[in-house]
Structure 1
Amino acid sequence: MSRIHLHLLSDSTGETLENIAKAAIGAFENVEAVRHFWPMVRSDVHLDRIMEEIAANPGLVLFTLSNHQLRRRLETRCRALGLPHVAALDSVTDALSNILGQETRNRPGRKHILDEAYFARIEAIQFTIAHDDGVGHENWEEADIVLAGVSRASKTPTSIYLANRGYKTANIPLVIQSPPPPALYSLKHPMVVGLTVSPERLVQIRRNRLLSLNQAPETSYVNLDKVQEELAFARRMFADNGWPVIDMTRRSIEEAAAAIINLFNDRVLAEGA
């Protein structure tokens, strides 16, 4: 069994880059690929921090960086470390062939690897839809990720996006008057992530939601004091349980999902260490 570290750097969510890496690895037999996922790389400071991790776990560096200065900096650092580095639109398969010392084998069954990934994604989507908004908590242990947050904190759209990336995701609304089921605090397999948002932004989102439903926009649901109380309740829960927190105030769904996937991958690597 050959073992290789793959470092995937993207200035966006990295979804395309991750799919390319999966497809290329599928062309080889008996390979354990340890993927290090680095999305949203947009500054020299961020890149320098990543390079420290790459130096500690040398391997193949695959990247999609549109900023030419950042790309040159990455290439220079990789050359200094003697590491192979390839833009994702270059021949990824050729680079893997060189570093692994084997040719790809075009034989029946290779496509089956990709088929399995497809069906796993469909299964993740089905699971996520069936476990939206606190439903099916008795099955949460089967999830990869559980998102928790107050109403309108973008739990459902983030869950669906993660499901499309192949992660079984459940989500639960945090309501002061209705505490979560005890199962939430005893989960072993899933990573629980708290979603939060600024009070002012949340009031705006909720008000727009009520207006879209032709409902009165002046209720306790959009009262700033009540909203702050809800958010404080959620933050205390996150802190008491040591759950990572993603602030959705200025993040798109794609950016939030990329950050969550990064946390998930770090957790998997830590557990395997």
Structure 2
Amino acid sequence: MPNRVHSYVHLHLVSDATGETLIAVARAAAAQYASVRAIEHVYPLVRSTKQLDRVTTEIEAAPGIVLYTLIGAELAERLEARCKEYGAPCVSVLAPVLNVFQSYLGTQSTPRIGGQHVLNADYFRRIDALNYTLVHDDGQMVEDLEEADVVLIGISRTSKTPTGIYLANRGIKTANIPIVPGIPLPPQLESLSGPLVVGLVASPERIVQIRQNRLLSLNDRDNTAYVDRLAVAEEIAFTRKLCARHEWPTIDVTRRSIEETAAAILALHKEHRDA
């Protein structure tokens, strides 16, 4: 088949549930093609032929790659037949994985739409973690820090809050404590025995850049100390010394995404829990 060079590609993501699995897979694949912009068309909760017909009409209007997770065989076959008519490649994201499971386990799967979103104990554990994390953001409610799984510390703009929320979605109760010049840290922090304490740091240049953008968005041009490189470097040095004194691990988030930072913390948390 001839190579097709596009500056963009339409990605049609068809799901009978929320579409989260499809979005994650599609973005992971699209990220490997830096010169191509993926235009996502997400169709969640497609569970009838009428709904599917609306989807295929849109696929015909903007042909591209079609990925789907449809449990019902009739809908899947109908989608694949239409895509074949349009010349649009169509792939079931779960089919190869389910085939491996079936071959290894020697048994058929039990089709369940959105089965990963069932309201089980794990789901409620994640909700509980999210509630805890939101209440313990930015140094609040330090009286019960011992109940946390992870406590993040760091200076302003080291992504403590978004990292904590990401961890909460993985079921990890996360509190975060800001390190602010001239303001003492809560005494509860240094006496923790259960939670894993992790320091987040970054290069002074990166912190200054983010803080400058923050001040611009707030239309605040007077807070020069907040973006002074030497002052920022001192804040980072203080964080590193504090963590070294207590043997708390540090993670440099300068070039890390939230997901990468969270993955590193999850690995540290597993080691901490096992120990």
TM range (shorter): 0.5 to 0.7
Residues 1:90 and 2:97 are matched in the alignment: yes
Contact 2:139-2:178 within 8 A present in 1 as well: yes
Call closer, same or farther: CA 1:96–1:197 in 2, change over 3 Å: farther
2:231 to 218, 226, 232: 226
Call closer, same or farther: CA 1:88–1:213 in 2, change over 3 Å: farther
DSSP-derived class of the 2:232 partner:
helix
Per-residue CA deviations over 1:77-104 (Å, capped at 9, x if unaligned) read xxxxxxxxxx995246557747xxx999
Structure 1 letter corresponding to 2:170: R
Provide the rounded CA distance (Å) in 2 between the counterparts of 1:204 and 1:111.
Answer: 40
Match of 1:12 in 2: none
1:211 to 216, 235, 247: 216
Match of 1:241 in 2: 246
Call closer, same or farther: CA 1:88–1:243 in 2, change over 3 Å: farther
Instruction: Give the C-alpha shift of residue 115 in structure 1.
Output: 1.2
1:266 to 251, 264, 271: 271
Match of 1:250 in 2: 255
Point out where structure 1 has 5 or more consecutive residues left out of the alignment: 1-14, 17-86
Call closer, same or farther: CA 1:248–1:177 in 2, change over 3 Å: same
Match of 2:152 in 1: 147
Instruction: Give the C-alpha shift of residue 170 in structure 1.
Output: 0.2
Match of 2:44 in 1: none
Call closer, same or farther: CA 1:88–1:227 in 2, change over 3 Å: farther
Count of residues in Structure 1 that have an aligned counterpart in Structure 2: 180
Structure 2 letter corresponding to 1:167: I
Counting only pairs closer than 5 Å after superposition, residues 95-174 of structure 1 correspond to structure 2 as: 97=105, 115-174=120-179
The TM-score normalised by the length of structure 1 is 0.59
Instruction: Give the C-alpha shift of residue 218 in structure 1.
Output: 5.5
Provide the rounded CA distance (Å) in 2 between the counterparts of 1:254 and 1:217.
Answer: 34
Instruction: Give the C-alpha shift of residue 256 in structure 1.
Output: 0.4
2:181 to 162, 176, 179: 176
- Percent identical pairs in the alignment equals 54
Provide the rounded CA distance (Å) in 2 between the counterparts of 1:265 and 1:168.
Answer: 14
Contact 1:176-1:233 within 8 A present in 2 as well: no
- Structure showing greater Rg: 2
Instruction: Give the C-alpha shift of residue 130 in structure 1.
Output: 0.1
Contact 1:193-1:243 within 8 A present in 2 as well: yes
DSSP-derived class of the 1:194 partner:
strand
Per-residue CA deviations over 1:54-83 (Å, capped at 9, x if unaligned) read xxxxxxxxxxxxxxxxxxxxxxxxxxxxxx
Instruction: Give the C-alpha shift of residue 168 in structure 1.
Output: 0.5
Structure 2 letter corresponding to 1:117: D
Provide the rounded CA distance (Å) in 1 between the counterparts of 2:123 and 2:156.
Answer: 31
Structure 2 letter corresponding to 1:251: R
Instruction: Give the C-alpha shift of residue 188 in structure 1.
Output: 1.4
Structure 2 letter corresponding to 1:224: R
Point out where structure 2 has 5 or more consecutive residues left out of the alignment: 1-19, 22-93
Larger displacement relative to structure 2 (175-184 or 154-163): 175-184
Contact 2:102-2:109 within 8 A present in 1 as well: no
Structure with higher RCO (Cα < 8 A, 6+ apart): 1
Provide the rounded CA distance (Å) in 1 between the counterparts of 2:130 and 2:160.
Answer: 14
Runs of 4+ in 1 over 6 A off after TM superposition: 102-106, 110-113
Contact 2:139-2:177 within 8 A present in 1 as well: yes
Structure 2 letter corresponding to 1:264: H
Contact 1:201-1:249 within 8 A present in 2 as well: yes
